[in-house]
Structure formats: structure tokens, C-alpha cells
Amino acid sequence: MKASAFALFPLLSLIACSEADAPAAPPLALDCARTFGELSAAVTAQPLVKAPGDPAEPYDYYSTPDGRASYLLTREGAPGHPAIMMQQVKGADVVTTGCPYGDRAGYDQLHAYLDSLKSWTRK
């Protein structure tokens, strides 16, 4: 996994909302009882900002306009595919949750990697 694209995911979720912005609707909570296709469609139906993709990485990244929540949707070839991950700012922490529809070991690998990026800083 390349750190360059993964580094964008948690950073997007930490962007602060300006005081002039209207209060944002709460981000869609993940409902893992829905199928991957249903939940993917519901996630992407929200007003989200899509991060530029890296063709070498099988993930799509989206963030809410206020930057308080981000989603990762796996594509074919990703560890744990199909899976949907969400990172959400909760106080001073970023909480990672998700729906593992595919290989659990691959999902756990992806989850651990995203959590490890919370402490990533540019040098």
C-alpha cells in the first residue's frame, strides 16, 4: 500500500470548518446490514468531495464538505474488498469504523493501516 494516497484519507477528515459555513448535515452512518452496493450508493449520494485517486491504488476516498468525516470504498484488488471504511472526528480523536464484506484478514490490515496514519505528520 502506498502511504501517499492513504495519507490523504485521515488528513481530509481533520480539515476544520470555517465559522461562516452553515451547519452541515450529519454524515451518513455506516449500516453494515446493507449490501456493499447499497451502502456505497448511499455514501456517494451525499454531498461529498472526492479525493484525487491514484490509479495504482484500488480505493476511492470521499470527505464531507466540512471535513469532519471521510469514507474509503475499496475497489477490486484492495485488501478486504469489498469493504467500506469511515473516519470521523470525535472531539480530539479520529474514530475509524467500517463494514467488512470481503476477506476479514484484509479488512483488518486496512483498518490497522488507517488507524496508524492518525499519528502521521509531514517532516
pLDDT (0 to 100) of residue 92: 87
Q: Which domain does 39 fall in, by range?
A: 3-15+28-119
Confidence of residue 15 (pLDDT cuts 50, 70, 90): very low
Whether 32 maps to a domain, the answer reads yes
* Cα–Cα dist 113/94, whole Å: 14
- Report helix angle 3-12 to 104-116, nearest 10: 70
- 60 pLDDT above the threshold of 70: yes
Rounded to an integer, what is the distance from CA 29 to the centroid of its chain? 12
Whether 22 maps to a domain, the answer reads no
Whether 109 maps to a domain, the answer reads yes
The strands making up 69-74's β-sheet, listed across from edge to edge, are 49-50, 59-63, 69-74, 83-90, 93-100
The domain total for the chain is: 1
Q: What is the pTM of this model?
A: 0.78
